[in-house]
Each structure stands twice: as structure tokens, then as C-alpha cells.
Structure 1
Amino acid sequence: MSVALVTGATAGIGAAFARRLAGDGTDLVLLARDDARLRSAADELRSAYGVSVETVVADLSTEEGLSVAEQRAAEGVDLLVNNAGFGHQGWFLDAPLDVELKTMRVHCEAVLRLTHAALPHMLRHGTGGVINVASIAAFVARGTYGASKAWVVSFSESVAAEIVGSGVQVTAVCPGWVRTEFHHRADLDVGDVPSYLWLEPETVVDAALRDFSRGVRVSVPTARYKVIVGLNRAVPRRLAAAISARVGSRRAGRRVPAKP
């Protein structure tokens, strides 16, 4: 029976991955910061699906947490889902530097180190792979969050190209707005997001696993978001960045300085 390691596994997309994989008969290693939530999630999954569930308490924004996660990934899993992440409001120069650095550590360093630790086992067996949860923000020039997710997409494509033909797959999944606690925890105002742009976590997971099984390197769930990404790529990058900055300024109540 295969084993999947899911980070950020107690809520949102991570929890949806855990439920779906358990339903498919996959044993799980769940990683998150909150021990109580982890134990509760593990008990529910064992009871509902009869799979083995191991828990790992680790904060991926710390060196200690990264080392613990890295060690478990290196012990061998068949699927790694790098899902852990967080957002915050505010402009780059307004946000505390330590928060920006934590963003890069969780979204980039953790993805790099866990992928590096997990792949050797997979390559020896010629099967398995990595799903890195990025975001549609990867295609929009806006803030450290978007930049970090753009790195995840580029990194995933690069690693996938390096190991082509090995039987091991790497996929970056780029969802849009998803109904999770992510935005509430980041204290983000999402009241003006149209209802048709919201996705359920299960929709994202279904698309990610389907594209992963097909060898797709960048998965964008739903046709409407594929269209949005396609249109964005057709717009000159400088113009897209300017539009994004002005939209963000209206939401933040901050004036974008005019060009001198």
C-alpha cells in the first residue's frame, strides 16, 4: 500500500487531499503545527477509511520544523503533497520583514528541501511523485506571496524536466479562490470576489490528482481559471503588474504614486 505525506494537512486543500487519498486506500503521514488538530484529523481518517495515519508536528517556518519534516520525507513516501502555506495583507514595504521571510521559507525553502529529501526513494523505485500546491497568483506580479508561488511553479517544472522518463512525476497545482479558512486567518477582505470564482477544495484536489496521473506539470483547476491564466499571459507583463498594483491599492485603501 502506498504512503502519502501531506503538509498543512488539517484544513482546507491539505485536509481535502488527506480525505481523498485515504478514500483511495492510501496510508497517510499528516504534517501540521497543531498537535491537537492533527490527532483529531488522524482519528477521523482512521475511523472513516481504515488506513494507517501517522502524524508529524512541525512548524515549517522554523529550522527545527523543517529538519523534522525533511527527515520524515527522506525515510520514504510514495507521494509528497507540499501544501503548507499562508497569506497576509499589506504591501511589501508595509509588511514586517520577518513575515516576508517566513513566507519564503514555508512556500519555497520547505518545498525545495522536502522535495529533495523525498525524491531519491521515489527514483529508486521508479514510481510516485510530488504535488506542489502553488496558486493562480503565480501568474500575477503582486507581492511576495505571488512571487513565491511563481517560484514553486518554475521549480516544479524544472525538476519534472530533470527526472523525465524515471516514472516519477512532479506537478504544480495552481488554484484560484478556494473556500477555506486561509483568507480568514490572513485577515483578508474577500467580500468583492465574485461567487463564480470560488472553488471547493475537493474540486482542486480532483483536478490536481487527475493532472498528476496524466503527467501534467502545471495544473490549473477548472476551465474558467485556465481562461483567466491564458488571458493574463497574453497581456504584457508590465501592464499586468500595473493593473494588479492598482487593484490591490483600492482594496488596501492606499494610493499608488503616479509616475514622475
Structure 2
Amino acid sequence: MFETFNKQDDEAEEGSLLSLYDNLLIHDLNTILQNIRTSSELSDRYIDNPKLNYKLKELIETIKQQATRGFRLLSNINKLSQLESSQLDIYEIDVCDLLRKAIDYVKTPLQNNLTIKIDTPFNEYFINANELLQDVFENILVNAVIHNGNSLIEISINASEIVQGKKRYLQLAISDNGVGIEDARKKIIFDGKKLKVNNGKGLGIGLFLVKKLLGLYKGKIRVEDRVKGDYSQGSNFILLFPKSKRRKT
């Protein structure tokens, strides 16, 4: 089932958003800082031992990744605040261009163990959105990388045009070979009212930002198992974007 969005949902969430941001920000930043501190302390043990230089390099990479995660967390909080406090402009924009930029952003630090395959008949496809659409793609792709324990991270993106009623939509299916999402969590990962810290694990705000932006773009999203019936084989996010009526091709 696709996630849908309406004004009542937004109004119901407004009262608890500040508390939500505070809780998630505090939890996730604590986790990031703890990981950085642990890696730094371990680095002190290896720095004077040439035989353990490979471990030192791994720890430095961990620190870099956690710093990147921290910057993204703050960026997401900032963009959610923008969505709540101002009316963002919507205009005709090329999805394919922003998708390519998002892929370049994600692949840069993880080039050696990440493959992203794209199957699309389009060189360009215009919808009514804005530059924050790139954040939709980046958040889904970054999650696919972070929540993946495989030595080779595989992401596939398939694009097609479908018709629902009398409307044409761009459909993007973004699948990965990560840890997957249990059925119970599938029901709440886009729900701002149910985002919370649970048993030491935050659900994060990336997908909440995705939901809010898709609502702004009049889009739809759902998540399913990459392999039907086995969530542990990875996830498949299906996104629908209404085609711009001004474009005939």
C-alpha cells in the first residue's frame, strides 16, 4: 500500500514535531559521537604498531563515515524545519538529473564496495518538485548503504512510466541487498507520530523527510521486500511522481 498524505496528517504532527526532532537528534548524535570516541580510543592503541596499520586505516574510515552521518543528520533536521516554517517553491524539474547527482554523492566515498545499476528508458523526465528532490534519493540510497552488512553492496534502480486513472506517473523502484525491514516496521517508518527511540535504536528521520517531501510533490511511496516473503534479503522502495502536465514527451 502506498503512503498518502493530507493536511490533517500534517496538522496532527505539528504539535509533536519539536519533541520528535529533539529526541531523534539527541539519540542519533549520541550514537555518532560514541562511535567516534570509541574509534579514536582504539586508534591510540594501534598508532605506534606498524603491523596494525590496517586496523588504524579502518578506524579512520569509521570516523569519516560517522562524521558524514552527523552532517547528514543535521542537514535533514534543517530541511524538515524549512518544510514546517516556510512555503517552498515548486517548479518543473528533471528527475533523472537529480537522481544522477544523488548517485554520484553516495558512490564517492564507497566506490570500492558499492555497485548501483540503473535501468531506465528515459534520458530526462520532468515533474513538479524542487532541488530537495535530490534529498529524497540520497536518503533512500544512504540508508541502503548504512543498513547493509555485505562485502558488496548492491543497489538497483528501475524506472518506468505507468498510468493510474488518467494520470501518468514516473515509477522508480530502488532495491538493495541490505538487512531489510520487518513487516511491523514497514508500517511505521514513514509515520512521524510513531518515530521514536526504541530499545536503543532510532528509526531516524531520513525517511520521515522523504515522506514530507513526497507529500509536497503529490507523490506516493511504499516499501516491500526485495524477495517476496523474506525481508532479510533486502528492501524495495517504490516511488511514484506525477508527470508534469506541461511536458508531452
Larger relative helix fraction = 1
TM-score, normalised relative to structure 1 = 0.27
When Rg is computed on C-alpha atoms for both structures, the one with the higher figure is 2
Q: Identify the structure with bigger relative contact order (alpha carbons < 8 Å, sequence gap 6+).
A: 2
